[in-house]
A = this chain, B = another copy of it.
Amino acid sequence: MRTSVDGSEISADFGAFVDQSPCARDPTGRGALSGLTFAVKDFIDVAGCRTGGGSPDWLASHAAAAVSAPAVEALLGAGAQLIGKTNMDELAFSLEGANAHYGTPVNPACPDRLPGGSSSGSAVAVAAGLVDFALGTDTGGSVRTPASFTGIFGFRPTHGRVSTVGVAPFAPSYDTIGWLARDPGCLSRVGRVLLLGSGDAAPINRLVQARDAFAFADPAAATVLRARARAWGAVDEVTVFDGAEAEWFECYRVLQGAEIWRCLGPWITANRPRFGEEIAPRFADAATIGEPDVTRYRAFRQNIAARLRAMIPPGTGLVIPTTLGAALPLKTSPEAIGSFYKSALPLNAIAGHPGLPQVAIPILQQNACPLGLSIVGAASSDEALLDLAISLHKSET
């Protein structure tokens, strides 16, 4: 049994997997993923399993799924073996990776830090080498943040390119299925199986960096990350927020909150779930959002989206920090957590507001926790982004 820095025991699975099983499934076909193993966030249906959503009350109110999410069937059909379902932040409403009911999965890269969430167990299962890749969901950063905190690759697709059938509803205009892997080749092979329709074939041959996004980051991290971005060829600079990051945050808080309350409010009202003390006020806040704010921020989002699409034409990638620094310490004060969200949500909304794809690439420093650098691409440049991650990785090793 391993022990963590504070002397407590680390369970064999790093707390990555949910107890209620058996959700393991053999492959149903052979193909591009034969020989690989994977895990599925417990917000996505697997036939014969109850989807738990990181909430004992959600678990109790759901019967076993009769059919799996198409994304899961596609992976099994391509030859991958499902090992099990993974822990997550309660009903996905957090980027931290903690769960008041089921505990915090251990970050294998930095055991005294949070793993990031809400796809915490999926990231930990991959980072710990328990599976080759994992499915998560990413609404406001829930794949990208834990990828960065645990030092692995993460991908958020263009809106609509991966089916969200069989995923619990949350904030539909931001919801995606994303995936995580230690190796960019694996990340890309999984993408080729999951991505529907046809991508834009143009390779990404021009990188620019978002100056004001790097200005958010911890100064030490920013120095490392910007140097790496320049090494990738991202020399030209653009500004994304133009000083309006507080409005970007509000836009995300309002639109996401209104959608969450519309989707989950009826269930919450009917079931009165026992939320963890960090999560309860977030749903309470979501319930208070009024239509005038929604109307106003929908227009704001539309402007952002048009501006970002123009800034990132096909063939261009925008380099940003995935997170503002390394993983947060396990014991971070509520004030520091609040301040983390003020920057993290606008940063994650660079892809989220316009629905663009983003690949998160781990930057591993010796004797330090991992950092993350990301590239946001044009709509439907998913395949080109995955190819780019492979070639950037090759050039470094």
Q: Is the interface of A mostly helix, strand, loop or mixed?
A: loop
Q: Which residues of B contact A167 (CB under 8 A)?
A: 165
| Cα A306 to Cα B267 with chains together (Å) | 43
Determine if A172 and B68 form an interchain contact, defined as CB atoms under 8 angstroms apart.
no
Docked-complex contact A165 and B169, CB < 8 angstroms: yes
B198 touches A172 (CB 8 A): no
- Chain B residues with Cβ below 8 Å from A266 are 28, 47, 67-68, 73
Q: Does A77 contact B (CB under 8 A)?
A: yes
Q: Does residue A74 face the partner (Cβ distance < 8 Å to B)?
A: yes
For the complex, is A203 an interface residue (Cβ under 8 Å from B)? no
Contact (Cβ within 8 A) B67 A267: yes
- Residues of A in contact with B, size category: 35 or more
Scan A257-294; emit 1 where CB is below 8 A from any B CB, else 0: 00100111111001000000000000000000001000
Chain B residues near A305: list those with CB within 8 A. Answer: 197-198
A66-B55 Cα distance, complex, nearest whole Å: 14
Query: Which residues on the B side are within 8 Å of A164 (C-beta)?
Result: 163-165
Is A63 an interface residue when CB atoms closer than 8 A count as contact?
Answer: yes
**Complex-state Cα separation, A73 to B262, whole angstroms:** 6
Q: Are A70 and B165 in contact (CB under 8 A)?
A: no
Partner of A267, one of B66, B163, B264, B267: B66
Assess the B173–A197 pair: CB atoms within 8 A.
Answer: yes
Q: Is A168 an interface residue (CB 8 A)?
A: yes
Does A41 lie at the interface of the complex (its beta carbon under 8 Å from any beta carbon of B)? no
Whether a CB of chain B sits under 8 angstroms from the CB of A302 is: yes
Q: Which residues of B contact A166 (CB under 8 A)?
A: 169
Interchain CB contact under 8 A, A172 and B196: yes
A178-195: CB near B (< 8 Å → 1, else 0) gives 000000000000000000
Interface residues of A in 49-92 (CB under 8 A from B): 58, 61-63, 66-70, 73-74, 77
Residue of A198, A262, A266 ringed by the most chain B CB atoms within 10 A: A198
Which residues of A in the span 150-169 have a Cβ within 8 Å of any Cβ on B?
158-161, 163-169
Residue of B nearest to A298 (CB): B198
A166-B68 Cα distance, complex, nearest whole Å? 12
- In the complex, A217→B214 CA distance in Å? 59
Q: Which chain B residues lie closer than 8 Å to A196 at the CB level?
A: 159, 172-173
Q: Is A42 an interface residue (CB 8 A)?
A: no
Residues of chain A from 327 to 384 with CB closer than 8 A to chain B in the complex: 354-355
The CA-CA distance from A66 to B53 in the complex, in Å, is 13
Cα–Cα distance between A169 and B45 once the two chains are bound (Å): 11
A31 interface residue per 8 A CB criterion = yes
Q: Which B residues touch A264, using CB under 8 A? A: 67
Tell me whether A175 is interfacial, beta carbon within 8 Å.
yes
**A301 near B: Cβ within 8 Å?**
yes
In the complex, which residues of chain B have a beta carbon less than 8 angstroms from the beta carbon of A270? Answer: 47
A62-B66, A197-B159, A306-B198 as given contacts; A77 in contact with B175, CB under 8 Å: no
On chain B, the residues within 8 Å of A77 by CB distance are: 262
Query: Residues on A close to B: CB < 8 A?
Result: 28, 31, 47, 58, 61-63, 66-70, 73-74, 77, 158-161, 163-169, 172-173, 175, 196-198, 259, 262-267, 270, 291, 301-302, 305-306, 354-355
4 tightest A-B CB contacts, nearest first: A160-B160, A63-B63, A163-B172, A173-B196
